[in-house]
A and B are shown apart, each in its own frame.
Chain A
């Protein structure tokens, strides 16, 4: 399959929708995201597990700068592409049930966002990756600023954009330096990742470039202490947009470590391994504690994402097969879980008189057993209940860390316990207890079910069959961490 079709389909339909009548535009984009999801599922089914880059598209984009338009799929990004298309399809369908001011523009931005994120996942050229990485924030800036919630949203999204762009732009500088400096000894400049892997930079150069890349990715995740934009940014976004934002954009950052940093800067990766592990642990502990103490349901999920991304970072920088495999699986798992959870928060808020504060909720499960069940499944998956795919992911990560750095693993175990605390607290506060005065306990509507049930079904599917992802990712994961593993040995 030509990946360009998968990549550009949402944007193209979004452009058409921008000029379409206001009744048609939402349906058109929702349909496009569903078709894209279908294509992604086909891609997963069609994937040859023996590894290697597949469905490669490679043409020169800007020959003078050595920038290729190179796309490809392997075990690292295969399921992340699937997750992205699923997230955007869920967001677009869920958004269809609401009226938006200037719908054509809203869906245009949503569709552009999907193309940009897919581009970041598919890019096999460092400059192309940076292009999509920077670009993907812009549609979300508009979505949050124009259709977001709260009077302070413009301030909040500006903060978010500037914060993450500081990282992104430093990464741009670092990426250009990587291309130029690795072209030093005579051969033409090229940003294709395969070329960059072949021409290693000197250790000291790698180190400062590593720091700039790490900063960009840690801000984007976000990881403690670079998460300053997160609380306000999360509160400002429309809930459907937040679902996909939280599920997908943070994964681009984690993916960036695996795709770019580990293979291209292996010496620096080994050098900074402890630093990254410490930051990951700090994120786990900080995120868990904040998630446990926040009363805003969105922020509970936001901080829990910080903790989960901490686990993923931990797995990546364990620098062994098991850790990295767990990280790849956990990226998909976290995305799958967080989409329904955030949509459920939106549903809960509608039942609690519009408030997203946990103190205003309670007792919603009373007349809503189906909603409660779906919520419970997602919450159990978040806390990595044995039997869920998240359990497998976290198990692998902890196993990986245990093998490489035991001390870190002991502290990380505490994070697993804390996850149970905040996930159950979220569930109990919202669904059990005495109903708050303005709470109206009613069952899930058919429309909401239409979005939630398939999402939870995917979680259950992965719980039964995580092998699907593990098996397909295995070869590529081994290949991508290989250079860094060799350095540590």
Chain B
């Protein structure tokens, strides 16, 4: 018996190289959490964000290192391929920019620096797991790892009721979404007898009776609903404006970009891999959802006066555009989605960085009034916001135009021309609210700065803007300018990003 115990145990092979991006994220989260316990102020306010950046940078480097490997790890539960790594790189970039925006923000100071950044890293790890998942269980695991830290992060400005409300709302709605998803996954498992994506695809050959099985179809519908909650696809988007408005702005920026990318990534993984043979069943449903989302998002944004709410609604609409790329289920569609996600990331972060700057400089928060006359007062922020808005509207010369071009191209190519037309109609509607922001920046007179009264005076004279708590900070302006510049560069020289997008799409083999 003793002899047996001393025998070498042959454990499963652990592919450390493949796991390394996840290890960097998880390890980084733990290190950041522990270092955050130290007393000195410079450690908490300087070292902790720096270490988070290092962890994210390491993840990015390791993802690039593993780029061409394309292998399954952990007994096929995760797949490290160019699609997963490309999306991970997007999450990491969004995370880095969020860290920079959070550096001197209120939220980490009010909660605790270590916890704040650790949760951010954990959430990114969850996203990474989610888009690598090859299995219903890991899919759900990744989704929860992504969501739970975000619920908390939304509520980190603890002394502001709307932040707490945002966190709570997100928790409740997100849990409903997760529960629905889980139920759907269980039904699909019940119908196909497999939790593995490959196994599910195998159990559903083209034209099999399973494709009309009510159990399977119900499961699929529930999965669509669950994921639609996460990606804020209409009609499951109602939480989005409230949560985006209430959450600390850097977290909103992170949710708007990274979470959306993760949700679309899992749409691609699940529908274009596991359920590709059921394409005829789900494609019309997703197409209808995409069309509804585009219309609802764009119409919802029109009457808003809070810029964060406008961006939330616009994010709903943009999810609809990208869903069109998933619907067609082709290489071109996946390429278009990943390309658009990258462009969408820089445009949105540029916009949110300007919101961060303005809500620090003025006491008006993120209302449209805080942007009046910004072009004359601070041309850097003014131009960054203008470029971001033009980009989101899809004006030529920006990443948004090329992205939309690509999406419509994919839609027409995949016989969904009508969805391409819905995209252009949505873009036309979207101009009304993007132009409102641009008009506020350039076409309204520059107001005079007046000191804000204690207790928040309700009486703001026209032509006056109360001064906010502190200056915008150079790093926030830098993020805005950098992302705006990237919007233009990707719009004029999209070639390199196209190549990357093409590479990510090759990760998925059997498409239509």
Contact = CB atoms under 8 A, between A and B. Distances in A.
Nearest to B442: A146
B405 A138 contact: no
Interface string B413-450: 10001001101110110011001100100110000000
Interface string B485-499: 000000000110010
B428 A173 contact: no
B408 A62 contact: no
A434 interface: no
Contacts of A177: 412, 417, 420
B409 A176 contact: yes
Contacts of A130: 396
B494 A62 contact: yes
Nearest to B497: A64
Given A131-B396, A169-B424, A63 B443 contact: no
B369 interface: no
B168 interface: no
Interface residues on B, range: 35 or more
Contact of A173 (B420, B435, B494, B495): B420
B431 A162 contact: yes
A176 B439 contact: no
B396 A165 contact: no
A131 B432 contact: no
B397 A173 contact: no
A154 interface: yes
Contacts of A65: 402, 405-406, 409
Nearest to B407: A176
A181 B404 CA distance: 18
Interface in A104-153: 127, 130-132, 134-135, 138, 141-142, 145-146, 153
Nearest to B406: A65
B401 interface: yes
A179 B405 CA distance: 11
Given A62-B402, A141-B435, A161-B435, A173 B408 contact: yes
Contacts of B404: 172
B18 to A, nearest CB: 29
A170 interface: yes
Given A145-B439, A173-B423, A180-B413, A131 B397 contact: yes
A146 B443 contact: yes
Contacts of A359: none
B90 interface: no
A102 interface: yes
Interface in A54-76: 62-65
Contact of A176 (B412, B494, B498): B412
B405 A170 contact: no
Interface residues on A, range: 20 to 34
B376 interface: yes
A178 to B, nearest CB: 9
A370 interface: no
A180 to B, nearest CB: 4
Given A145-B443, A162-B435, A173-B420, A64 B498 contact: yes
Query: Per DSSP, are chain B's interface residues mostly helix, strand or loop, or mixed?
Result: helix
Query: Per DSSP, are chain A's interface residues mostly helix, strand or loop, or mixed?
Result: helix
A451 B281 CA distance: 67
Nearest to B411: A176
Nearest to A133: B396
B502 interface: yes
Interface string B88-123: 000000000000000000000000000000000000
A278 interface: no
A134 B396 contact: yes
A152 to B, nearest CB: 12
Contacts of B432: 158, 162
A142 B442 contact: yes
Given A62-B494, A127-B405, A134-B396, A169 B427 contact: yes
B498 A166 contact: no
Nearest to A153: B443
B409 A154 contact: no
A102 B382 CA distance: 14
A13 to B, nearest CB: 18
B83 interface: no
A177 B424 CA distance: 12
Given A64-B498, A130-B396, A176-B408, A169 B428 contact: yes
A166 B502 contact: no
Nearest to B426: A169
Which of B424, B436, B442 has the most chain A CB atoms inside 10 A of its CB?
B424
Nearest to B498: A64
Given A64-B498, A102-B376, A131-B396, A161 B420 contact: no
Contact of B390 (A132, A138, A189): A138
Contacts of A181: 412
Interface string B379-397: 0000000000010001111
Given A65-B405, A169-B427, A169-B428, A176 B395 contact: no
Contacts of B431: 161-162, 165
B376 to A, nearest CB: 7
A172 B424 contact: yes
Given A134-B396, A135-B397, A165 B413 contact: no
Interface in B267-301: none
Given A62-B494, A158-B435, A169-B427, A180 B412 contact: yes
A158 B436 CA distance: 8
A180 B415 CA distance: 10
Given A142-B442, A154-B439, A132 B396 contact: yes
A134 B502 CA distance: 27
B493 to A, nearest CB: 9
B439 A172 contact: no
B439 A165 contact: no
A134 B425 contact: no
Contacts of B409: 65, 176, 179-180, 189
A177 B376 CA distance: 41
Interface string A159-202: 00110011001101100110111000000010000000000000
A179 B420 CA distance: 14
Which of B396, B432, B502 has the most chain A CB atoms inside 10 A of its CB?
B396
A276 to B, nearest CB: 22
Given A158-B435, A169-B425, A138 B395 contact: yes
A154 B396 contact: no
Contact of A166 (B396, B428, B435, B443): B428
Contacts of A127: 405
A4 to B, nearest CB: 14
Contacts of A180: 409, 412-413
B413 A154 contact: no
A165 B420 contact: no
Interface of A: 62-65, 102, 127, 130-132, 134-135, 138, 141-142, 145-146, 153-154, 158, 161-162, 165-166, 169-170, 172-173, 176-177, 179-181, 189
Interface of B: 335, 376, 390, 394-397, 401-402, 404-406, 408-409, 412-413, 417, 420-421, 423-425, 427-428, 431-432, 435-436, 439, 442-443, 494-495, 498, 502
10 contacts: A65-B402, A135-B396, A138-B390, A153-B443, A161-B435, A166-B425, A166-B428, A169-B425, A173-B424, A180-B409
What are the nearest 5 A-B pairs in CB distance? Answer: A131-B396, A169-B424, A173-B424, A145-B443, A166-B428
Given A135-B397, A158-B436, A173-B424, 15 more contacts: A64-B498, A64-B502, A65-B402, A131-B396, A138-B390, A145-B442, A146-B443, A154-B443, A162-B435, A165-B431, A170-B425, A177-B417, A177-B420, A179-B409, A180-B409
